[in-house]
């Protein structure tokens, strides 16, 4: 959870341009979540599953690539065979498990790959190039920076609750929600204040355009992937 | 009152949108039971009202709620919902913003109503179940989730249900707003944070 949704902290240039990456997340999630399991859409889905796999292999994350492939094979077997063989409650259970895996895994892994290979400043710069206003980019980058913080804070709250032996079982749902949510909200407010002070000292929000040293630009691989994605989109919309 | 969004405002938007999305997703796990899948926006609206009210207590500048709704709209599109989602979200955001603006972002009553109006954006999440998207969506559900799930869902979602859900959403949002206001009063006023 923590690593999935936060940007890379530093390092070399991203494998793909952020613009291509975002486009590919959009297309993959459109096809994977909305698409059916028959005809052309089946092949489109297959193609879309392969993009994150190839991405994982190119960034030398072989272990993750293998797990990814395994999960997809598993859900393909279930969707292809087991669903037809079972019925009733078991069917519902299998359907849900396989459905979650086959629908949401590819977009999530793609998102993970993008986040892992892109730095915040690359993201912001690329957004600037396509003229997305600061009003959108700043909240977005803060948001992604903040997801792991929330899960960290939540963990700390649960630990503190366990230490004081306030176990969740006895309380009603509302009480539990209050005990968990209020402290997290408290620290959210505090962290938001600290973050804005920190970014003010870094000169965000001045009238002068900020400079940066990261390289952002479309390369051949970006154009190739974009072309493929365009074909996929057209096929998906037409059929 | 300032008229331009400062960096502090933008960071507040980012932070609270993140919290909002997390709470939204945690509460939407109930959605895998077919009946709850329809009622999902309503349940989420109640829970999400709490962080939203805290967010509103930080809003002093025109545009903050709108920006949040734009981000949420994009997020919904990223999850594979059809594009009108964005318009629904932004429209809900702007209306809520205008309502808040009337009282200069100071009235708790307006904030509660605003929370109700804002939660209409979640209707976009259920949009594929209705109108023109209905048949292809159910076909894909049938293929992906199996007959049992699809039939149950199909039976409880005729088109008029969409409008019922809008009303329920607003009610849920208002309930969430009330709950949020109570939480704010109980915990945050005391600590001087709201």
Taking the Cβ of residue B67 and every Cβ of chain A, the question of whether any pair is shorter than 8 Å is answered with yes
A103 in B contact zone (CB under 8 Å)? yes
CA dist., res. B27 & res. B112, Å (int):
20
User: DSSP of A90-151, one letter per residue?
Assistant: HHHHHHHHHHHHHHHHHHHHHHHHHHHH-BHHHHHHHHHHTT--HHHHHHHHHHHHHHHHHH
Inter-chain CB proximity B21 and A143 less than 8 Å: yes
Residue B95 lies in a domain: yes
| Interface membership of A214 toward B (CB under 8 Å) | no
B140 and A34 in contact by Cβ < 8 A? yes
Residues of B in contact with A192 (CB under 8 A): 11-12, 15-16, 58
Please indicate, yes or no, if residue B90 is contained in any of the structural domains.
yes
What is the reported pLDDT for A2?
Answer: 42
Size of interface A-B (CB pairs under 8 A): 141
**Do B32 and A96 make contact, defined as CB atoms within 8 angstroms?**
yes
Cα A112 to chain centroid distance, Å, stands at 5
Nearest to B149 among A92, A186, A188 (CB): A92
pLDDT for residue B193 is more than 70: no
Residue B163 lies in a domain: yes
Please give the pLDDT value at position B9. 86
- What single-letter DSSP state applies at residue B61? S
Complex ipTM: 0.76
Q: Predicted confidence band at B80 (pLDDT cuts at 50, 70, 90)?
A: low
Mean local confidence (pLDDT), B59-80: 83
Number of structural domains chain B divides into: 1
User: What sign results for the dihedral spanned by CA atoms A111, A114, A119, A125?
Assistant: negative
- Hey, is the C-beta of B10 within 8 angstroms of any chain A C-beta? yes
How near does any CA of chain A get to the CA of B10, in Å? 5
Q: Choose among B58, B78, B187: nearest Cβ to A29.
A: B78
Of A137-146, B61-70, B78-87, the poorest mean pLDDT is in: B78-87
B29 belongs to a structural domain: yes
Q: What is the rounded distance in angstroms from the CA atom of residue A172 to the CA atom of residue A237? A: 47
Contacts of A181 in chain B (CB under 8 A): 23, 50-51, 183
Tell me the per-residue pLDDT of B118-161, one tens digit each, with 9 for 90 and over.
888 887 777 666 665 666 666 666 665 666 667 766 766 666 77
pLDDT value at residue A36: 63
Is the CB of A147 less than 8 angstroms away from the CB of B22? yes
User: Could you tell me which of A40, A16, A46, A14 has the C-alpha nearest to residue A28?
Assistant: A46
Contact A135 B16 (CB under 8 A): no
First to last CA, chain B: 18
Substitution target in B146, B186, B192 with the highest count of A β-carbons within 10 Å is B146
Is B164:B95 a contact under the CB 8 Å cutoff? Answer: no
Whether A95 sits inside 8 A of B148 (CB atoms) is yes
- Domains in chain A: boundaries: 18-119+216-238, 132-201
Rounded Cα distance between B150 and B143, Å, is: 9
- Profile chain A (239 residues) by mean pLDDT over runs of 10 residues: 56 78 84 70 82 85 87 81 68 72 81 81 84 84 83 87 73 74 86 86 75 79 87 80
């Amino acid at each position: 959870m923590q690593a999935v949704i936060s940007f890379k902290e530093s390092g070399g240039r991203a494998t793909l341009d952020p613009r291509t990456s975002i486009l590919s997340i959009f297309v993959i999630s459109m096809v994977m979540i909305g698409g059916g399991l028959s005809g052309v859409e089946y092949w489109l889905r297959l193609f879309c599953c392969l993009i994150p796999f190839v991405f994982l292999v190119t960034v030398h994350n072989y272990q993750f690539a293998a797990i990814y492939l395994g999960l997809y094979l598993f859900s393909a077997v279930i969707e292809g065979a087991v669903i037809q063989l079972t019925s009733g409650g078991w069917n519902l259970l299998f359907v849900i498990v396989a459905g979650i895996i086959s629908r949401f895994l590819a977009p999530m892994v793609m998102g993970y790959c993008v986040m892992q290979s892109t730095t915040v400043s690359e993201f912001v710069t690329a957004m600037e190039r396509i003229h997305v206003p600061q009003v959108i980019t700043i909240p977005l980058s803060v948001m992604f920076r903040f997801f792991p913080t929330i899960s960290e804070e939540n963990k700390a709250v649960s630990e503190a609750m366990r230490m004081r032996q306030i176990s969740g079982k006895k309380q009603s749902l509302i009480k539990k929600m209050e005990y968990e949510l209020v402290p997290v909200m408290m620290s959210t407010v505090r962290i938001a204040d600290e973050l804005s002070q920190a970014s003010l000292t870094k000169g965000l929000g001045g009238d002068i355009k900020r400079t940066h040293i990261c390289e952002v630009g479309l390369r051949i691989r970006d154009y190739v992937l974009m072309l493929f994605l365009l074909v996929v989109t057209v096929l998906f919309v037409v059929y | 009152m300032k008229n331009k969004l400062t960096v502090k405002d933008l960071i507040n938007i980012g932070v609270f949108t993140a919290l909002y999305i997390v709470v939204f997703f945690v509460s939407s796990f109930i959605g895998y039971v077919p009946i709850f899948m329809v009622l999902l926006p309503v349940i989420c609206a109640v829970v999400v009202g709490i962080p939203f009210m805290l967010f509103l207590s930080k809003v002093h500048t025109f545009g903050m709620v709108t920006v949040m709704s734009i981000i949420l709209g994009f997020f919904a599109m990223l999850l594979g919902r059809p594009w009108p989602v964005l318009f629904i979200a932004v429209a809900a955001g702007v209306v809520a913003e205008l309502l808040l603006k009337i009282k200069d972002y100071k009235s708790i009553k307006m904030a509660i109503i605003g929370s109700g109006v804002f939660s209409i954006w979640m209707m976009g999440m259920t949009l594929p179940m209705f109108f023109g998207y209905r048949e292809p969506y159910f076909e894909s559900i049938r293929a992906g989730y199996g007959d049992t799930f699809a039939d149950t869902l199909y039976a409880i979602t005729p088109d008029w249900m969409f409008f019922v859900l809008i009303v329920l959403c607003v009610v849920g949002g208002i309930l969430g707003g009330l709950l949020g206001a109570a939480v704010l009063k109980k915990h945050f006023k005391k600590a001087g944070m709201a």
